[in-house]
Structure 1
Amino acid sequence: MRSSTIVPSILGAVATIAAASLPPASHLDISSLSWALLPTKSTQQFRGLSPVSDKIAYVSGTGGTVLHTTDGGLSWSSVGPVLSPEDAGLEFRDIEAITADHVALLSIGEGTDSRIYVTRDGGATWTQAFTNPEPAAFYDCIAFTSARNGVAVSDPVDGKFRLVETDDGGASWTLVDPAGMPDARDGEFGFAASGTCLGAGVGNRMYLASGGVDPGRVFRSGDGGRSWEVADTPIAGGAAAGVFSVRFRDAKHGIAVGGDYTAPNVTADTAAWSRDGGVTWQAASVFPGGYRSGSAWVPGLCGAAIAVGPTGSDVTFDGGKTWATFDNGSFDSVQCPQPGVCWASGTGGRVAKLKFTWATTLAA
């Protein structure tokens, strides 16, 4: 809409190794969680977020800004593409760290403002790998299922969400045949609010969140974005409302969050969960504390996930069925690259890392 992370297969191996040393999620409650703000020295809004580890992360946002840290957020370097004066206002709404140095970056906007840049040296140099040639297209999000294979999604063109794909790590992009995409409903679109309106799951699975219509919907693909099916969710949709973020921790268990960004304090009908791979969705029994634009599973903590938005952050310990607010600061995006490590980013240059206080004296 006019609105990230190491590749899932790599993260899976890291999570499996590290999770064995973590206490169970039952040793946490909302008092165990807090955000530690980091000194970006920026006032830009960072909707693009892609941490690689506890030490390495990228953020991207307004004013053509891309920042990179290699010391856990204590210091940041500006590593964005060199832009002409007329392009200085580009908004980089999504960024995907395929490895610590290989990164894909998406700018949003109508026509040629929608672009994909790629670096293989941590931002020292960038290649403009894709420029949208279709005036009616508006690209929202980008996701990779492997180090070579990725997809970017645009709002509907000619009645269907438009996709471009890469099989060479982002160096080149081609249009995906729209025959495998279900028809969009009148007024339906995606939200470029956190880089998670499009998500990659295990194998070649992909998920696409939509709004603009009631209810919000989630599209799912089992073949890397070539063919799709779609399901309604209980999340309320509308002109500024719907599903903003969809995330799956395995082939079956998923969460979706959203709401209405013009009514950020409304809590009803803002979250849902699935346990059948996205075929059906159930409403949360306790919703997050308002509209939420981003979400992430916490690796190593079965059933634990974080959701963020302009009015606060929430946690679930039961796979999205119930949520509890633990912070009232504003964030747009959240990503958890490895067990016990979560990052968030948002307006006013805000970037933070989540602090976990393990209650090891509690019964498991």
Structure 2
Amino acid sequence: MKTLRIAALAAGVLLAMSPLVPAQAVGQHGVKYTWDLKPTGSTAQFRGLAAVNKDVAWVAGSAGQVLRTLDGGRHWQNVSPPGQALLFRDVEAFDAQHAVVLAIGLGEDSRIFRTADGGKHWAETFRNAEPTGFYDCLDFNNSRDGLALSDPVNGKFQIAATSDGGKSWKVQSGKGMPAALPGEFAFAASGTCLVAGAGRTAWFATGGGAVPRVFRTVNGGRTWKVSDSPMASGEAAGIFSLSFRNQVHGVAVGGDFGTTGDAVKAASYTTDGGRSWKLVPADKAPKKYRSGSAFVPWSAATFVAVGPTGSDVSLDGGRSWTQFDDGYFDSVECAGHGYKAGCWGSGKDGRVARLSVGR
């Protein structure tokens, strides 16, 4: 069933792309949020997205394609690993030269590659050896420590960890992992089903089971605790994306991509580090399924969420959301500090944009 769900996501047949008709969201002091499209010349679907700052970003997607920009999206370089027709779903970049990409799929189709020279050369540093394993996403606490998440193997989610920036990976013991629910899995939709925080903290989110859940670790993935979520779950529903602005404040977004894309109990927020979650009321939540989310780093409590039918912004830490665009995006990522900070979105047909904030 997992492969069928992923195939449907990759083909984009379940949700139609709506026309781009910006509907600006106005924030504090009249600040407006819009997307500034940055043509890539590609037709790939880019669910993998890594923002380094407002100038540097990486995208990874279908047909083994990886692109990089160094000038804010004016030009894109094809830096794909040679000879790979894999389905890339996540990319994490530390700067313009160092990046790690994740290919998804059952068994050996789940692989990780690393570059240290801007994509001129790539090394395969991990290949899944479990026939039933399926890696969905990865993230890093810093330039050395990172985790990658697989759907359950023998009844438990599986974690691979690195402490050398992705040069090598070690599958962690399942002793510290709570048992998975029947039918529970993670969504390889935007590279944000697992997110890492300061120190050795990380969270990952699930769906497919009786309830969606959020797992959290404070010791680099050796042990995990899990909390139920008030959001909806189902065969194609649950939490698709997590985003945290610090160790205690975060948001979760999702929905059901398998029916109409309507968002029913599809957004929540936490103020205690993911130990508990509060449901966003339907009249304040995104109206459609959302696959990605990110904290806007130059703000106090602003998050952006994206999906095939549009983008929403929350100015109050995820308690309420306003749609500001209805173009197609799968992923959103923000990074950088001060005047170098930037937010990027990516999606199908080579679609990439940078968030524009004006008055």
Tell whether the structures are fold-level matches, with TM greater than 0.5: yes
The 8 Å contact of residues 107 and 115 in structure 1, kept in 2 or not, is answered as yes
CA distance, structure 2, for counterparts of residue 113 and residue 154 of structure 1:
12
The 8 Å contact of residues 70 and 96 in structure 2, kept in 1 or not, is answered as no
**Cα deviations by residue, 1:313-359 (Å, 9 ceiling, x for unpaired):** 0000111110010100010000111355210000111000111014x
CA distance, structure 2, for counterparts of residue 178 and residue 300 of structure 1:
38
Equivalences for residues 212-231 of structure 1 within 5 A: 212-231=208-227
CA distance, structure 1, for counterparts of residue 261 and residue 135 of structure 2:
28
The 8 Å contact of residues 254 and 263 in structure 2, kept in 1 or not, is answered as no
Task: Quote the offset at 1:168 in angstroms.
Answer: 1.1
SS of residue paired to 1:202: coil
Letter in structure 1 aligned against 2:296: V
Equivalences for residues 200-349 of structure 1 within 5 A: 200-285=196-281, 286-338=284-336, 341-349=342-350
Task: Quote the offset at 1:267 in angstroms.
Answer: 2.5
- Length-normalised TM-score, structure 2: 0.90
CA distance, structure 1, for counterparts of residue 328 and residue 210 of structure 2:
26
The 8 Å contact of residues 38 and 350 in structure 1, kept in 2 or not, is answered as yes
CA distance, structure 1, for counterparts of residue 260 and residue 82 of structure 2:
35
Task: Quote the offset at 1:124 in angstroms.
Answer: 0.5
CA distance, structure 2, for counterparts of residue 25 and residue 297 of structure 1:
15
The 8 Å contact of residues 115 and 131 in structure 1, kept in 2 or not, is answered as yes
Equivalences for residues 20-31 of structure 1 within 5 A: 26-28=28-30
Aligned in 2, Cα 1:284/1:303: closer, same or farther, shift over 3 Å?
same
The 8 Å contact of residues 181 and 210 in structure 2, kept in 1 or not, is answered as no
CA distance, structure 2, for counterparts of residue 107 and residue 41 of structure 1:
22
Q: Does 1:170 align with 2:171?
A: no
Q: Of 182, 189, 210, which residue of structure 2 is paired with 1:186?
A: 182
Task: Quote the offset at 1:264 in angstroms.
Answer: 4.8
Aligned in 2, Cα 1:270/1:28: closer, same or farther, shift over 3 Å?
farther
**Cα deviations by residue, 1:264-302 (Å, 9 ceiling, x for unpaired):** 541221100000111100011311121000000001211
Residue number in structure 1 paired with 2:15: none
CA distance, structure 2, for counterparts of residue 265 and residue 137 of structure 1:
27
- Length-normalised TM-score, structure 1: 0.89
**Cα deviations by residue, 1:251-272 (Å, 9 ceiling, x for unpaired):** 1101000011123541221100
Letter in structure 2 aligned against 1:342: C
Task: Quote the offset at 1:52 in angstroms.
Answer: 0.7
Q: Note the aligned Cα RMSD (angstroms).
A: 1.4
CA distance, structure 2, for counterparts of residue 162 and residue 219 of structure 1:
12
**Cα deviations by residue, 1:111-147 (Å, 9 ceiling, x for unpaired):** 1110000000010100001111111100000111121
Runs of 4+ in 1 over 4 A off after TM superposition: none
Equivalences for residues 67-216 of structure 1 within 5 A: 67-83=67-83, 87-88=84-85, 90-216=86-212
The 8 Å contact of residues 312 and 328 in structure 1, kept in 2 or not, is answered as yes
Task: Quote the offset at 1:68 in angstroms.
Answer: 0.6
CA distance, structure 2, for counterparts of residue 33 and residue 175 of structure 1:
41
The 8 Å contact of residues 202 and 216 in structure 2, kept in 1 or not, is answered as yes
Residue number in structure 1 paired with 2:36: 36
CA distance, structure 2, for counterparts of residue 166 and residue 268 of structure 1:
37
Aligned in 2, Cα 1:190/1:28: closer, same or farther, shift over 3 Å?
farther
The 8 Å contact of residues 47 and 195 in structure 1, kept in 2 or not, is answered as yes
Unaligned runs of 5+ in 1: 4-23, 359-364
Task: Quote the offset at 1:25 in angstroms.
Answer: 5.7
CA distance, structure 2, for counterparts of residue 69 and residue 269 of structure 1:
37
CA distance, structure 2, for counterparts of residue 294 and residue 41 of structure 1:
23
The 8 Å contact of residues 25 and 301 in structure 1, kept in 2 or not, is answered as no
Task: Quote the offset at 1:204 in angstroms.
Answer: 1.2
Unaligned runs of 5+ in 2: 7-25
The 8 Å contact of residues 47 and 330 in structure 2, kept in 1 or not, is answered as yes
Letter in structure 1 aligned against 2:237: A
**Cα deviations by residue, 1:37-86 (Å, 9 ceiling, x for unpaired):** 11101111000000111111100000110001111111111101111xxx
Q: How many equivalent residue pairs?
A: 332
**Cα deviations by residue, 1:80-123 (Å, 9 ceiling, x for unpaired):** 1111xxx42x1110000023211111000111110000000010
261-270 or 311-320, which moves further after superposition?
A: 261-270
Task: Quote the offset at 1:201 in angstroms.
Answer: 1.1
